Amino acid sequence: MKIATFNINGIKARIEALPAWLEIAKPDVAMLQEIKSVDEGFPSEIFEDMGYRVETHGQKSFNGVAILSRLPLEDVTRGLAGDDTDEQARYIEATVIGKTAVRLCCLYLPNGNPVPGPKYDYKLAWMDRLHARAKELLVQEIPFVMAGDYNIIEQDTDAAKPELWREDALALPTSRAAYRKIAALGLTNALRAKHPEAGLYSFWDYQAGAWQKNNGILIDHLLLSPQAADLLIDAGIDKNTRAGDKPSDHVPVWAQLDA
């Protein structure tokens, strides 16, 4: 089972590039972030015609997540528990039925800038809620994959120019500590497990020629429960999608599981 995460930065703008990538990469599951669309506005038919089931959790203009799957999906839940007043569409879960059932958690973690301020407070509170959800799932001792745009530069080697991010919500020590608290529950980063080398990135800003200069950062991850990590076969980044026509500023990251 090949599972990918991809921040597409707007489904309307990616109406050609997303199907093109699916045709080439052929993931069984694609967890999408920043669809920037309400559920009714998501062009599900395009993907259903390609053999994918489509589950969205959208909102107008901003945020929004979705799961595309060529395998059956069950028990879809929308939103991250822990704050009934949170109206931002950043989280969706579903169970994919392959050889083995795998719980999928698709997340778009808040950016958090500017710091300090309410947006940064929201980011840290959201991470506390994600930590609580990870703990709940770990108790179940099932294969699960928590994947998406974490908006965290975990370590300096995950940025081409770490000095530019020192005061940023993506790289502050408090941000990194909150991320590591989640990972330290016992989750395995699929890409790092298979590609420990530095200099792999998943995002290049549209501005200032970041792509041409390879001024990137690694912020998109698939974190695996112990039961999922036992099934890990391979992982990678589809870097070349950034060089295509009308690309997202993120590229897909994927993991192959024996599931």
Residues that bind DNA (CB under 7 A): 9-14, 36-37, 41, 60-62, 110-111, 113, 119, 205-208, 246
Active-site annotation holder among 108, 120, 179, 201 = 108
Q: How far is the CB of 217 from DNA (least distance, A)?
A: 11
List, as own/partner pairs, every contact residues 52-56 make where C-beta atoms lie below 8 angstroms and the sequence separation is at least 24, other chains included.
Answer: 52/22, 55/92, 55/94, 56/92
Is 108 part of the annotated catalytic residue set? Answer: yes
Q: C-alpha angle with apex 133: 96 to 252, nearest 5 degrees?
A: 50
Is residue 210 helix, strand or coil? coil
Q: Are strands 101-108 and 144-149 parallel, antiparallel or unpaired?
A: parallel
- Minimum CB distance to DNA smaller for 67 or for 170: 170
Beta bridge partners of 92: 78, 106
Contact (CB, 8 A) for 235 and 256: yes
Tell me which amino acid residue 252 is: P
- Minimum CB distance to DNA smaller for 165 or for 185: 165
Is residue 21 helix, strand or coil? helix
Q: How far is the CB of 114 from DNA (least distance, A)?
A: 9
Active-site annotation holder among 149, 158, 238, 249 = 149
- Minimum CB distance to DNA smaller for 9 or for 56: 9
Reply yes or no: is the peptide bond before residue 247 cis, omega within 30 of 0.
no
Q: How far is the CB of 206 from DNA (least distance, A)?
A: 4
Retrieve residue 163's tokens. Answer: 């000095």
Q: How far apart are CA 106 and CA 134, in angstroms?
A: 12
Q: Are strands 65-69 and 53-57 parallel, antiparallel or unpaired?
A: antiparallel
- Minimum CB distance to DNA smaller for 28 or for 34: 34
Q: How far is the CB of 205 from DNA (least distance, A)?
A: 7
- Minimum CB distance to DNA smaller for 95 or for 241: 241
Looking from the CA of 22 toward its CB, the CA atoms found within 13 Å total 23
Is 201 part of the annotated catalytic residue set? Answer: no
Contact (CB, 8 A) for 76 and 86: no
Q: How far is the CB of 53 from DNA (least distance, A)?
A: 22
Active site residues: 108, 149
